[in-house]
């Protein structure tokens, strides 16, 4: 039976928009249920009733065109001939465009060059965009796209990122972070432990695929409706492709049906193509990728090949060593520089590495350009050190949790390999301690060991893994946000900000911030859509920073407006009262002054009216930039993160050793969101992030054939978690009593990505179950996704190797260690 998470009653209860939760709190620790904060998602009712409009739901004029993309059938080669006349001749076709039809920029690489809008000569992956066709219907466009005559001088596809790295075939230069003398720490160590792993990629599988609708506007401009995490970048790229000023392009995003990083850079190409068609034809143009095309055309989470060699003392505490990460970037840089950096920043997870060197390579392969995906490289970085923790524990014959706890950052060992001091160490230790007892870790460990000893077929495994995730964009300039606040004369409030809504509840949280600052009910505050003509030059909604940045910008706008209203009250409303600024407050829909709530009170609506008549501006702009952060990439040292978010999970699995099939039977999570902005939404993020992470590590397998063609290109061949994959027991709790030590918005913490990495506990529990079959001192290698097939292969490898050593995991002889 699924036990309900403690706070989820709050998200389920309210029945009218803006109404406070007042439901049954039986079984819920009332103290923890911050009723005011646990508001449901601003679109919750619309989501579940189908009224929330996504791009394809937007009504378009009857003359709107539909666009289909012509994809490269091969992964690498020279485009010798592209004959589009047969496409033009197909029924319903209105326009067909390719490389030479682009008036402006043809390279739409977001950060670095390397992403042609259409192939000119060189084809770099199977599925790459060759041309676009616009027709009267979606069907006609898709049929017509198939009529192209394509001749390619095929060349061998490079699909092995490790071989590419050896040949120095990289999309960006290698970066190294280093602290202390790592070689000496290896040569002096009592034990040297080493290992390798392959971590598979992940398809975003957002429910709403890539989609946009572009309408030509007056003069040379366009209005772009798009499912998009980065409207400002799309505005820039559309303008550059058309060769028009940025101000002629307006991008609007009301909501996405999921983004997960897949719409940070990779929503732009479709907007650019639709904009070209819209301007050429003077007709609105829709582009919605089919699921298969979406999976073939767009990049995914980076697969990683990683290895480590660490020196540890007799207690299993890491003294130092060497870690190497190879990210498979696909054919172009996209965001890979920052993604592999973030993997490197998280190669320590929550543990001190001592004197360590961390190297990150960005390999080029002939696949779609891999991109942002929840965690942004962080998950892949953490996987290596979590493998090491289990390897060390088995080598020394200790429980993995004991080894993890000994290696946690602690006083005296609080500096990361890139020079940032880890704060809130007590929080980290107490969080793990609390979860250890609430999950009953040690009693269950004993029970599972006894069970495994008498169970030949089914083996159970248990693991606790922590998360420490750095919050801030590592590209410093992105850590800024703007907001625009309007108060209308009826007292209703409209807030706009630079962030986008993708289901994560950002708009709800930002409205809550404004309501709180102005002392209003949440129902008084509304957000329309994110638009580049309201708040300009915005950062992507990414790096989990949406509420941190835009919440602060909205707060800044609200404070400015409040100051203006206070000044108006002191000077105009109550000039004789002898009141000071500090006497005024906005609360419960009133402006109040003086002690005892007595004399000076005015309702919000009347105040706004009076201020309007008094010619006070009722509109304010807000801005925020994150303080304290810096990173010197040359020196590979700095403080890239404003703070860290923490969490930990205990997962239990049961493996059928004859088939490799397994179940995740119980999961306990304790997660740190500081003082939560909205506990109901935060719990939803934790549950969703965990399950998405579990899918990445267990069932979601990307397969390409030897020629580089993606075989797993739809739900029939690519398995995301389904309802039945939910752990039978799933306990999720928020850590209480630890406000952010930094001055983030109301001392909350970002929640979007960190919980994703809690799922590493599932993989570690699987290894734990398999280790019960291995000779003492060994923990079998388990690459991911750890499908039943891979689990079975790991079991078979152990049986083959007998006592020669752990499967695929050569044991290093302590006596022969060379640095």
Nearest to 228 by CA among 287, 160, 151: 287
**Residue 574 CA: distances (Å) to CA of 297, 565, 601:** 64, 12, 10
- Residue 547: name its binding partner from ligand MOS, ligand MTE, ligand HPA, none (Cβ under 5 to 8 Å by kind): ligand MTE
**Of the two residues 316 and 499, which places its CB atom closer to ligand MOS in the complex?**
499
**Of the two residues 473 and 763, which places its CB atom closer to ligand HPA in the complex?**
473
At 562, is the secondary structure helix, strand, or coil?
helix
Distance of CA 751 to the CA centre of its chain: 10
118, 270, 304, 373: residue in contact with ligand MOS (rule CB under 6 A): 373
User: 514, 683 in Cβ contact below 8 A?
Assistant: no
User: 349, 358 in Cβ contact below 8 A?
Assistant: no
Q: Distance between CA atoms of 509 and 360, rounded to whole angstroms?
A: 36
Distance in Å, CB of 693 to ligand MTE, minimum: 11
503 binds ligand MTE (CB under 6 A): yes
Catalytic residue, candidates 517, 733, 753, 789: 753
- Residue 678: name its binding partner from ligand MOS, ligand MTE, ligand HPA, none (Cβ under 5 to 8 Å by kind): none
Distance in Å, CB of 565 to ligand HPA, minimum: 37
- Residue 43: name its binding partner from ligand HPA, ligand MOS, ligand MTE, none (Cβ under 5 to 8 Å by kind): none
Distance in Å, CB of 667 to ligand MOS, minimum: 23
- Residue 342: name its binding partner from ligand MOS, ligand HPA, ligand MTE, none (Cβ under 5 to 8 Å by kind): ligand HPA
- By beta carbon distance, the residue nearest ligand MTE is 546
Under rule CB under 6 A, which residues in 725-754 are in contact with ligand MOS? 753
Q: Is 2 exposed, middle or buried (0-12, 13-18, 19+ CB in 10 A)?
A: exposed
**Residue 346 CA: distances (Å) to CA of 200, 289, 660:** 17, 34, 30
Region binding ligand MOS by CB under 6 A among candidate stretches 368-376, 416-424, 656-664, 685-693: 368-376
- By beta carbon distance, the residue nearest ligand MOS is 261
In degrees, rounded to 5, the angle at the alpha carbon of residue 722 between the alpha carbons of residues 719 and 723 is 170
Under rule CB under 6 A, which residues in 246-265 are in contact with ligand MOS? 261, 264
542 binds ligand MOS (CB under 6 A): yes
Question: How many residues bind ligand MTE, per CB under 6 A?
Answer: 21
Query: Bridge partners of 631?
Result: 638
Region binding ligand MTE by CB under 6 A among candidate stretches 436-444, 544-552, 567-575, 708-716: 544-552
Q: Distance between CA atoms of 231 and 251, rounded to whole angstroms?
A: 6
Distance in Å, CB of 347 to ligand HPA, minimum: 15
478 binds ligand MOS (CB under 6 A): no
- By beta carbon distance, the residue nearest ligand HPA is 543
Question: How many residues bind ligand MOS, per CB under 6 A?
Answer: 10
Q: And the tokens for 401?
A: 């949790």
52, 189, 542, 786: residue in contact with ligand MTE (rule CB under 6 A): 542
- Residue 473: name its binding partner from ligand MOS, ligand HPA, ligand MTE, none (Cβ under 5 to 8 Å by kind): ligand HPA
- Residue 338: name its binding partner from ligand HPA, ligand MTE, ligand MOS, none (Cβ under 5 to 8 Å by kind): ligand HPA
Ranges of beta strands (E only) in 158-276 are 170-179, 191-199, 211-216, 222-226, 249-253
Nearest to 755 by CA among 806, 683, 814: 683
Is there a catalytic annotation at residue 753?
A: yes
541 binds ligand MTE (CB under 6 A): yes
119, 432, 525, 543: residue in contact with ligand MOS (rule CB under 6 A): 543
**Of the two residues 300 and 374, which places its CB atom closer to ligand MTE in the complex?**
374
372 binds ligand MOS (CB under 6 A): yes
753 binds ligand MTE (CB under 6 A): yes
End-to-end CA distance of the chain: 52
645 binds ligand MTE (CB under 6 A): no
**Residue 724 CA: distances (Å) to CA of 566, 666, 688, 691, 728:** 55, 13, 14, 12, 9
Q: Distance between CA atoms of 765 and 499, rounded to whole angstroms?
A: 37
267 binds ligand MTE (CB under 6 A): no
696 binds ligand MOS (CB under 6 A): no
**Of the two residues 376 and 566, which places its CB atom closer to ligand HPA in the complex?**
376
Q: Distance between CA atoms of 712 and 730, rounded to whole angstroms?
A: 30
Task: For tokens 């964009």, name the residue.
Answer: 473
Distance in Å, CB of 752 to ligand MTE, minimum: 3
Which helix (H) or strand (E) element contains residue 603? strand 600-603
Distance in Å, CB of 47 to ligand HPA, minimum: 25
User: Which stretches of the chain bind ligand HPA, using CB under 6 A?
Assistant: 264, 335, 338, 342, 372, 376, 473-475, 478, 540, 542-543
**Cβ contacts of residue 509 below 8 Å, gap of 6+?**
547, 551, 677, 678, 681
Q: Within a 13 Å sphere around the CA of 541, how many CA atoms are in the beta-carbon half? A: 30
Nearest to 506 by CA among 548, 539, 540, 536: 548
258 binds ligand MTE (CB under 6 A): yes
User: 436, 442 in Cβ contact below 8 A?
Assistant: yes
**Of the two residues 374 and 395, which places its CB atom closer to ligand MTE in the complex?**
374
261 binds ligand MTE (CB under 6 A): yes
DSSP 346-394: TTTTTB---EEEEEEEEE--SS------TTTTHHHHHHHHHHHHHHHHH
**Residue 188 CA: distances (Å) to CA of 191, 355, 499, 506, 663:** 9, 12, 50, 50, 42
Per DSSP bridges, beta strands 493-497 and 525-526 are parallel
Q: And the tokens for 264?
A: 């940070």
At 146, is the secondary structure helix, strand, or coil?
coil
Phi, psi of 105 (to 5 degrees): -60, 145
**Of the two residues 111 and 707, which places its CB atom closer to ligand HPA in the complex?**
111
401, 485, 547, 590: residue in contact with ligand MTE (rule CB under 6 A): 547
387, 452, 544, 678: residue in contact with ligand MTE (rule CB under 6 A): 544
Which helix (H) or strand (E) element contains residue 482? strand 480-487
- Residue 335: name its binding partner from ligand MOS, ligand HPA, ligand MTE, none (Cβ under 5 to 8 Å by kind): ligand HPA
- Residue 177: name its binding partner from ligand MTE, ligand MOS, ligand HPA, none (Cβ under 5 to 8 Å by kind): none
**Of the two residues 685 and 742, which places its CB atom closer to ligand MTE in the complex?**
685
Per DSSP bridges, beta strands 170-179 and 355-363 are antiparallel
Q: And the tokens for 104?
A: 């402006």
Distance in Å, CB of 539 to ligand MTE, minimum: 10
**Of the two residues 197 and 266, which places its CB atom closer to ligand MOS in the complex?**
266
User: 512, 677 in Cβ contact below 8 A?
Assistant: yes
Under rule CB under 6 A, which residues in 679-738 are in contact with ligand MTE? 685, 688
- Residue 685: name its binding partner from ligand HPA, ligand MOS, ligand MTE, none (Cβ under 5 to 8 Å by kind): ligand MTE
**Which residues of the shown chain bind ligand MOS in the complex (CB under 6 A)?**
229, 261, 264, 372-374, 376, 542-543, 753
**Which residues of the shown chain bind ligand MTE in the complex (CB under 6 A)?**
258-261, 374, 499, 502-504, 506, 541-547, 685, 688, 752-753
- Report the catalytic residues: 753
């Amino acid at each position: 039976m699924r036990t309900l998470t403690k706070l989820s009653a709050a998200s389920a209860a309210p029945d009218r928009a803006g109404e406070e939760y007042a439901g049954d709190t039986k079984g819920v620790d009332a103290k923890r249920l911050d009723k005011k904060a646990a508001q449901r998602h601003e679109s919750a009712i619309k989501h579940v009733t189908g009224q929330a409009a996504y791009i394809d739901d937007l009504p378009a004029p009857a003359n709107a065109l539909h666009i289909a993309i012509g994809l490269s059938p091969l992964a690498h080669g020279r485009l010798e001939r592209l004959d589009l006349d047969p496409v033009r001749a197909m029924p319903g076709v209105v326009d067909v465009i390719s490389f030479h039809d682009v008036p402006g920029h043809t390279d739409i690489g977001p950060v670095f060059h390397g992403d042609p809008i259409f192939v000119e000569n060189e084809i770099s992956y199977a599925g790459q965009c060759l041309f676009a066709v616009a027709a009267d219907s979606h069907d006609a466009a898709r049929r017509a796209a198939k009529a192209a005559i394509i001749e390619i001088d095929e060349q061998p596809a490079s699909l092995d990122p490790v071989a590419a790295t050896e040949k120095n075939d990289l999309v960006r230069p290698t970066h190294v972070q280093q602290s202390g003398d790592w070689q000496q720490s290896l040569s002096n160590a009592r034990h040297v432990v080493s290992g390798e792993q392959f971590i598979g990629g992940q398809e975003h599988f957002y429910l709403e695929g890539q989609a946009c609708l572009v309408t030509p506007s007056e003069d040379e401009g366009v209005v772009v409706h798009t499912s998009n995490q980065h409207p400002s970048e799309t505005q820039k790229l559309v303008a550059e492709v058309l060769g028009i000023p940025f101000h002629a392009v307006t991008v609007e995003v009301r909501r996405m049906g999921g983004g997960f990083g897949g719409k940070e850079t990779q929503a732009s190409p479709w907007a650019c193509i639709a904009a070209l068609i819209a301007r050429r034809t003077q007709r609105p143009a829709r582009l919605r990728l089919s699921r298969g095309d979406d999976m073939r055309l767009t990049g995914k989470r980076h697969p990683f090949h990683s290895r480590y060699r660490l020196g540890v003392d007799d207690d299993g505490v890491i003294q130092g060593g060497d870690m190497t990460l190879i990210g498979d970037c696909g054919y172009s840089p996209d965001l890979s520089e920052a993604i592999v950096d973030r993997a490197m920043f998280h190669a320590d997870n929550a543990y001190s590495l001592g004197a360590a060197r961390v190297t990150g390579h960005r390999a080029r392969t002939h696949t779609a350009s891999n991109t942002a995906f929840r965690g942004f490289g962080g998950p892949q970085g953490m996987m290596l050190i979590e493998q090491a923790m289990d390897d060390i524990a088995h080598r020394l014959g200790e429980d993995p949790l004991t080894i993890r706890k000994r290696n946690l950052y602690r006083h005296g060992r609080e500096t990361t390999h890139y020079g940032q001091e880890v704060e809130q160490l007590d929080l980290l230790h107490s969080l793990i301690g609390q979860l250890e007892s609430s999950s009953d870790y040690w009693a269950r460990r004993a029970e599972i060991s006894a069970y495994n000893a008498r169970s030949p077929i089914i083996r159970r495994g248990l693991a606790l893994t922590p998360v420490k995730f750095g919050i801030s964009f590592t590209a410093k300039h992105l850590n800024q946000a703007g907001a625009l606040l309007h108060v209308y004369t009826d007292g209703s409030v409209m807030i706009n900000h630079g962030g986008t809504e993708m289901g994560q509840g950002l708009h709800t949280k930002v409205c809550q911030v404004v309501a709180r600052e102005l002392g209003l009910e949440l129902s008084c505050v509304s957000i329309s859509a994110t638009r580049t003509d309201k708040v300009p030059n915005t950062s992507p909604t990414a790096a989990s920073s949406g509420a941190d940045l835009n919440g602060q910008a909205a707060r800044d706008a609200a404070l400015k407006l409040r100051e203006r209203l206070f000044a108006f009250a002191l000077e105009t409303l109550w000039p004789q009262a002898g009141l000071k600024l500090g006497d005024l407050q906005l609360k419960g829909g009133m402006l109040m002054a003086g002690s005892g709530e007595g004399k000076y009170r005015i309702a919000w609506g009347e105040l706004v009216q009076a201020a309007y008549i008094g010619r006070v501006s009722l509109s304010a702009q807000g801005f925020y930039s994150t303080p304290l952060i810096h990173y010197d990439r040359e020196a590979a040292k700095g403080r890239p993160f404003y703070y860290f978010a923490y969490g930990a999970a205990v997962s239990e699995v049961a493996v059928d050793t004859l088939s490799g099939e397994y179940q995740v039977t119980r999961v306990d999570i304790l997660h740190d969101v500081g003082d939560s902005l909205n506990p109901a939404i935060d719990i939803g993020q934790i549950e969703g992030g965990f399950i998405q992470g579990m899918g990445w590590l267990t069932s979601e397998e990307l397969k390409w054939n030897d020629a580089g063609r993606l075989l797993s290109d739809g739900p029939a061949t690519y398995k995301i978690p389904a309802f039945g994959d939910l752990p039978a027991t799933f306990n999720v709790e928020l850590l209480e009593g630890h406000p952010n030590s930094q001055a983030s918005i109301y001392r909350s913490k970002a929640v979007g990505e960190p919980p994703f990495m809690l799922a590493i506990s599932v993989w570690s529990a699987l290894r734990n179950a398999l280790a019960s079959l291995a000779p003492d001192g060994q923990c079998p290698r388990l690459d991911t996704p750890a499908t039943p097939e891979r689990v079975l292969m790991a079991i078979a490898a152990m049986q083959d190797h007998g006592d020669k050593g752990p499967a695929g995991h050569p044991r290093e002889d302590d006596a022969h260690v060379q640095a």
